[in-house]
Amino acid sequence: MLKEIGAGLALGILAGLFALGFNVYPFLLLIGLFFLLTRVADIKGNKQFVPVSNSKANTRISFEDIGGQNTAKRELLEALDFLKVPEKMSSLGIRPLKGILLVGPPGTGKTLLAKAAAYYTDSLFLSAAGSEFIEMYAGVGAQRIRQLFNQARNSGKKSNKKSAIIFIDEIDILGAKRGSGSSSHLEHEQTLNQLLVEMDGLSFNDEIKILLIGATNRADLLDNALLRPGRFDRIVQVELPDQEGRLQILQLHTRNKPLADDVCLENIARETFGFSGAHLESLANEAAIIALREKKKFLENRHFSEAIDKVIMGEKIDRRPDKEEFWRIAVHETGHAVVSECIRSCSVSTITIIPRGKAMGYIRQTPSKDSYISTREDIEEQIAILLGGAISEEEILGSRSTGSSGDFQQAVELAKKIISAGMSSLGIVSVADLPSGVLYDSLKEILNAQEQRVRSIIRKYRSMIENVARYLLEKEKISGAYLRNILKEHEQRSRNEVC
């Protein structure tokens, strides 16, 4: 403000002098230079750095507001005793814990856990992102680190807190391995060194006890100095939620939403393997938006089903293929679905030919359980389902199309997985060291076997696939239950014919 008044005054005086016939150009040049220098000083002096969010609303998140993540919560709670009951820790001679590193995929609740830690320990909560410490001026990042820790101490005192939690998200940006080829490595090293210095300076006797919580998706990028004991003492894995965790997260995010009687959160949790907490939050939100669009008072099961499709595949798109292409897509998707049901009964949840994102159609499968490892049979089943689309097109329409190239790429990757896991006829081998001819033959053997398996399924159900595809063309989306009924009828008819 003062600067603006000064600038106004100076311009006024200069205008007066100009009117009296003085040469004001040298003065103008000097004033311009002065403002340029103060601007640079402002940036370097870091006056614009506001990395801290300390709103009370932000920190009022408790561990009960976080679904699943029981292991992460348990480990974190144990580590937080140092802030909660410091006397107990010091009486046993336990040194203070200086840092906790939360490691896990995006959207799994790392920020929520840090906020809940602050609420649980009644600590001041300050947060910043690693990218906020990266500047091209040497020394600015280090200064920001100092500011952050000083602010924790000062604001902690002002708000009568005994402790403060500093949360640095994307800490891999600021704490990446030194000498890893960054262009401004001097600045990076100074920033990281300052962080190490601040962490080393933390002590039990500090008036405000500070705990640093870092979050990253890439712990492998972090400098070893950060990971050594005495700095980030605890590394807590924050994984994608399991079925039970997904159910809890869905319950949390639907507690303020009116649900119709047909909504079964257990089923939704089962269908959403691989979803993070952020995906599930978005799913509940999207379901509510769809219900609102339809002017419904309650969120129904189909709203959730559509929201799952949207979260997985993206928004519906306007691009409409012509009639012939639509028929091909229907045949392709029905082929996938029938092979899936024949190989893994009750595995299809929905079949649709409504274009979304990059897909012109797709089938959504319901896993019977969360699984984290696969046998050769599991992978072969996946390959067969992937080939179902192309072979259905070939058998029914007489040719394949480019719509199958993504399926083939995935099928080849899966076949490579069989080889690299030592489950192929080659035994234990390194895929990278295999002569290309040997790798080709082995891939061909795996893929050909599945192609034959799929072809015989498609030939057996050919007329049924055509019927279902026709129905799909009319409705654009059909449920797995509908497909299973048709399959059952088909089986019944075949049995009667044999009798």
Quick check: 130 binds ligand ATP (CB under 6 A)?
no
**Residue nearest to ligand ATP as judged by C-beta position:** 277
| Residue from the set 24, 103, 112, 212 that interacts with ligand ATP by CB under 6 A | 112
Q: Is 135 a catalytic residue?
A: no
Q: Which residue has the tokens 């024949």?
A: 342
Please state the closest distance from residue 253 (CB atom) to ligand ATP, in A. Answer: 6
Region binding ligand ATP by CB under 6 A among candidate stretches 100-108, 377-385, 402-410, 475-483: 100-108
Quick check: 127 binds ligand ATP (CB under 6 A)?
no
Q: Which residues contact 243 (CB under 8 A, 6 or more apart)?
A: 269, 270, 273, 369, 370
Query: Of 192-221, which residues contact ligand ATP (CB under 6 A)?
Result: 215, 217
| Residue from the set 32, 45, 106, 258 that interacts with ligand ATP by CB under 6 A | 106
Tell me, by CB under 6 A, how many residues bind ligand ATP.
19
Please, which residue, 66 or 176, has the CB nearer to ligand ATP? 66
Region binding ligand ATP by CB under 6 A among candidate stretches 46-54, 64-72, 304-312, 314-322: 64-72
| Residue from the set 277, 389, 403, 480 that interacts with ligand ATP by CB under 6 A | 277
Region binding ligand ATP by CB under 6 A among candidate stretches 143-151, 277-285, 291-299, 488-496: 277-285
Please, which residue, 110 or 270, has the CB nearer to ligand ATP? 110
| Residue from the set 24, 66, 268, 487 that interacts with ligand ATP by CB under 6 A | 66
Whether 141 contacts 194, CB under 8 Å: yes
What distance in Å separates the CA atoms of residue 84 and residue 91, rounded to the nearest whole number?
14
Phi then psi dihedrals of residue 177, to 5 deg: -50, 135
**How big is the chain, counted in residues?**
499
Please, which residue, 108 or 450, has the CB nearer to ligand ATP? 108
Which residues sit opposite 168 in a β-bridge? 128, 214
Please state the closest distance from residue 229 (CB atom) to ligand ATP, in A. Answer: 25
Quick check: 350 binds ligand ATP (CB under 6 A)?
no
Please state the closest distance from residue 311 (CB atom) to ligand ATP, in A. Answer: 12
Region binding ligand ATP by CB under 6 A among candidate stretches 35-43, 60-68, 410-418, 444-452: 60-68
Quick check: 67 binds ligand ATP (CB under 6 A)?
yes
Please, which residue, 72 or 290, has the CB nearer to ligand ATP? 72
**Mutual orientation of helices 140-158 and 185-200 as an angle, nearest 10°?**
30
Quick check: 249 binds ligand ATP (CB under 6 A)?
yes
| Residue from the set 24, 51, 59, 68 that interacts with ligand ATP by CB under 6 A | 68
Please, which residue, 168 or 439, has the CB nearer to ligand ATP? 168
Half-sphere exposure of 250 (CA within 13 A, CB side): 26
Please, which residue, 159 or 251, has the CB nearer to ligand ATP? 251
Please, which residue, 109 or 388, has the CB nearer to ligand ATP? 109
Closest to 253 measured CA to CA, from 219, 279, 216, 224:
279
Sheet with strand 477-479: strands edge to edge: 362-365, 348-352, 477-479
Please state the closest distance from residue 256 (CB atom) to ligand ATP, in A. Answer: 12
Site string for ligand ATP, 156-175 (x = CB under 6 A): -------------x------
β-pairing verdict for 348-352 and 477-479: antiparallel
| Residue from the set 252, 259, 291, 387 that interacts with ligand ATP by CB under 6 A | 252
Region binding ligand ATP by CB under 6 A among candidate stretches 110-118, 142-150, 388-396, 397-405: 110-118
Determine the distance from the C-alpha atom of residue 191 to the mean position of all C-alpha atoms in its chain, rounded to a whole number: 27
Quick check: 58 binds ligand ATP (CB under 6 A)?
no
Q: Which residues contact 302 (CB under 8 A, 6 or more apart)?
A: none
Please state the closest distance from residue 379 (CB atom) to ligand ATP, in A. Answer: 30
Phi then psi dihedrals of residue 478, to 5 deg: -130, 160
Please state the closest distance from residue 111 (CB atom) to ligand ATP, in A. Answer: 3
Which candidate in 132, 198, 333, 451 is catalytic? 333
Write out the residues near ligand ATP by the rule CB under 6 A. 66-69, 106-112, 169, 215, 217, 249, 252, 277-278, 281
The catalytic site residues sit at 333
